[in-house]
């Protein structure tokens, strides 16, 4: 589908392009090679946008991801008894950690690239605002999910066929996506869980979702639609977080134990772990505010429309909180191990 490049240096640069070499975004040749073949124009506008992404990426990684990492490691690495609230907090914080760790890396890679006159794919589009599994995989690790779609799901038959055939394709794709992360039971279960969620949503959409979407589009108070969206986002976030428990657990036994604990020890608020670092607490509040405004405005570059003093305060706050997080124990990027 893509005409081969006739310059070995361009091909070699595509293969060894350093900002995204370790953990993505997974760039296709047809998207990146044309940018390497033509002259790059480096502008002030592109440089400032790149610098903002780099600041945002380090803020996510150093201040937040590394700030919650000790709590997650303590609870998931515990050999003693943990409580319901321990598991809930550790799972929720791991959801924050893996998002800030991986999207932070992507932001840095995209920022460096913009400063070199190259645009990498947007790899994360506010995944925790998703309302269903299909929406989530259109927002999370977009370069991998589209790769799985194009090279596994579509060749298996994709959407062409009955509901059972489509569900089979979804399950195979997600099981292989889980195994891609490693040959361990937790990754297999995570892939199965994601596949099951996609299949359940597909069946629901086929028999009820289409009619519901049509009726919602016809009429209804705006407040009611907003409430239903927020409720759907909150419920689905719980579904996503349990998936992260499967992903983070270090053994099949721990998955069983922690899942049982969530049911049998429900409501136990005896929190025995230490709290996240101050940089993470302050950073999570600021990041939530930034992402909420971005989602509301549907514009990833909304900060460019802010008054200069407000924009300056936002960037200065990110830098200050990142410097606060420099005392956190550094942790390797999670996706470097895959």
DSSP string for residues in 48-78? HHHHHHHHHHHIIIIIIIHHHHHHHHHHHT-
**Whole-angstrom Cα distance, residue 258 to residue 318?**
35
CA proximity to 318, closest of 285, 271, 272: 285
Catalytic one among 141, 160, 181, 250?
A: 181
Q: CA of 190: how far to CAs of 101, 158, 206, 230, in Å?
A: 19, 21, 24, 25
Rounded distance, CA 286 to CA 309, Å?
Answer: 17
Element (H, E) at 301: none
160 is catalytic: no
What tokens were used for 144?
Answer: 């991998």
Angstrom distance (rounded) from CA 68 to CA 287: 14
Count CB-CB contacts under 10 A for residue 108.
Answer: 21
Find all residues with CB under 8 Å of 153, minimum gap 6, and list them.
169, 170, 173
Active-site residues, by number, are 181
């Amino acid at each position: 589908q893509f005409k081969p490049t006739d310059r070995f240096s361009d091909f070699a640069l595509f293969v060894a392009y350093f900002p995204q070499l370790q953990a993505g975004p997974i760039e296709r040749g047809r998207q990146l090679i044309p940018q390497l073949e033509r002259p790059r124009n480096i502008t002030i506008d592109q440089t400032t946008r790149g610098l903002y992404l780099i600041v945002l990426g380090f803020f996510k990684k150093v201040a937040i991801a590394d700030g919650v990492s000790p709590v997650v490691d303590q609870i998931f690495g515990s050999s003693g008894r943990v409580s319901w609230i321990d598991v809930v907090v550790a799972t929720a914080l791991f959801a924050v950690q893996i998002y800030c760790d991986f999207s932070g890396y992507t932001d840095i890679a995209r920022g460096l690239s913009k400063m070199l006159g190259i645009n990498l794919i947007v790899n994360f589009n506010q995944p925790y605002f998703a309302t269903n599994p299909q929406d989530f995989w259109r927002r999370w690790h977009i370069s991998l999910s589209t790769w799985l779609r194009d090279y596994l799901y579509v060749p298996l038959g994709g959407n062409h066929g009955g509901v059972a055939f489509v569900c089979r394709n979804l399950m195979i794709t997600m099981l292989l996506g889980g195994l891609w992360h490693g040959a361990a039971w937790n990754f297999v279960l995570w892939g199965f869980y994601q596949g099951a969620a996609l299949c359940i949503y597909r069946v629901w959409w086929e028999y009820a979702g289409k009619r519901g979407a049509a009726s919602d589009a016809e009429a209804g108070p705006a407040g009611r639609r907003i409430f239903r969206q927020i409720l759907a986002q909150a419920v689905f976030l719980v579904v996503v977080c349990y998936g992260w428990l499967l992903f983070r657990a270090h053994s099949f036994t721990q998955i069983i134990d922690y899942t049982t604990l969530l049911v049998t020890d429900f409501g136990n608020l005896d929190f025995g772990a230490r709290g996240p670092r101050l940089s993470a607490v302050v950073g999570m509040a600021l990041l939530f505010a930034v992402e909420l405004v971005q989602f509301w405005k549907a514009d990833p570059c909304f900060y460019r429309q802010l008054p200069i003093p407000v924009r300056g305060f936002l960037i200065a706050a990110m830098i200050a909180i990142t410097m606060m997080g420099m005392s956190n124990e550094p942790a390797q990027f999670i996706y470097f191990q895959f």
